[in-house]
Amino acid sequence: MGNKRARTTSRLCGGRRMNIDEKYTARIDSMNDFTYDWKPENYDDPSEPILKITKSSLGTYKWCPKKYQFNYIERRPQDQTEAMRKGTVLHNHREDFFNTFDVKKAENMNNSEILEYCTGLMPVDDYYDISLTVASFEAQRFIEAKAEEKTHEYLPIVNEGKFDAEITIPIGPYKGDASLNYEEFTLQREYKIHIQGIIDRIFIEDGGLIPFEFKTGGWKDNKASEMRQEMAFYQLLIENSPPEVLAKNGLTPEMKVTHWGWYYPAANYVFAEKAAKRSMTSVMFRIAKLIYAYEQSKFEEKFYAPMCGQWCSYFGICPAAQEDTWL
C-alpha cells in the first residue's frame, strides 16, 4: 500500500502534451494502484488510493459481507468454478463476434445468409449450444435493423469497455426501503471513492446510451431488481468517468444513459427499459452501506443452505458453515 497512484496529467516529463491514448493508458494503469483496502486516512491526499469498488465487489458484499471480506480484504484465493469458466469463455466469444461482424457485408445478404454468417462467427466448443442461440438472436436483431434502415446502430459503440471514475459519497443519513430491510445509518464523514469496471456493451439509439449486460446463467424474474442495480452502477460509472476515459471509448461527457438492458441466452430472455432513478438511489445506498461496514469493521456472514455449499468457494472456512449449523 505504499505505492502512490500516478495521477493523469496533461503533460509528460518532457513537457510534451499527452494525447488521448496516452491519457487513457495512464488512467487505466493508475487503476491498478487502487485496492480494496480501507484507507480513510488518505482522504485528504488525492495521490493515495482510498477505496475501490466494482460492480462485482459491491454484488459480493450484498450477497454476503463475509465472502467480501475473504475475497477483497483478506484476498484469499478461490477456485474457478464451472460457472466462472463458462462466463469468461462466452463473454470472450461475444466480444470477438462484434469485433469481427462486417455490417457492409451483411447488408448484402438475405435472411438465411445472415443467420449462416452469424453462426459461422461462433467458435465450436463446449458451449456451442448457447453460442447458436446467441447467433440466432444476433441474426434476427440485424434483420430487424436492416428492415428499419438502422444497421448503423447495430454494432455497439463500446465493446468490453474499461471505465474508471471517482465519486463522493455523502454522510447521509441513509434509510433503506423494504428491499433494503429499512436499514438506517449515518457515515462518519463524506468519502471520495474510486469506482471502475468493464461494461459488456454500450449501444447508441437516438443519441442515448444503452449499456447492455450479457449473462450466461439462468433467468428468474426475481433477478430483475438486482439487474437494474447493476445497470445503475454502470450508469454511475459512465456519467462520472473523466474525458480521457470517455474519449477512448468513443463517448463524450454530453452523452447520457437513457435506457439499459440485459440478455440471458440460456433462457432466451432479453429485456430493455428506460433507466430508473430509483435503481441509482439503491446503488448509492449499497455503496454507503459497504463504507459503513468498513467504518464499523463488521463483515458478518450470511448463510443460505444449501446454496453456500454449492456456489461459495469459501464454504470450507466460513464460520456459518460449520457442521452444527446444518443440524
pLDDT on residue 32: 53
Predicted confidence band at 317 (pLDDT cuts at 50, 70, 90)?
confident
| Grid coordinates of 258 | 437513457
Name the average pLDDT for the chain.
84
> What was the pLDDT predicted at 144?
96
Report CA Rg, the chain: 22
User: Residue 166 has which C-alpha cell?
Assistant: 471517482
Q: Mapping DSSP to helix (H, G, I), strand (E, B) and coil, where does residue 256 land?
A: coil
- Residue-wise pLDDT for 146-157, tens only, equals 999 999 999 999
Chain mean position to CA 30: 19
Q: How far apart are CA 22 and CA 287, in angstroms?
A: 31
Q: Which of 10-19, 220-229, 308-317 has the lowest mean pLDDT?
A: 10-19
Which pLDDT score is estimated for 122? 96
Contact 262, 271 (CB under 8 A): yes
Q: Which of 247, 260, 196, 228 is nearest to 29 (CA)?
A: 196
pLDDT at 4: 33
Which of 103-107, 256-260, 295-299, 302-306 is predicted with the least confidence, judged by mean pLDDT? 302-306
Q: Where are the beta strands (DSSP E) in 226-268?
A: 259-264
- The residue type found at 134 is V
- Select, from the ranges 76-80, 187-191, 312-316, the one with the highest average predicted confidence (pLDDT): 187-191
Phi then psi for 157, rounded to 5 degrees?
-75, -25
Q: Give the predicted TM-score (pTM) of the model.
A: 0.83
Q: Tell me how far CA of residue 187 lies from CA of 60, 120, 296, 306, in angstroms.
A: 21, 54, 10, 34
* pLDDT tens profile 103-148: 999 999 999 999 999 999 999 999 999 999 999 999 999 999 999 9
**pLDDT for the residue numbered 78:** 79
Reported as a pLDDT band with limits 50, 70 and 90, residue 16 is very low
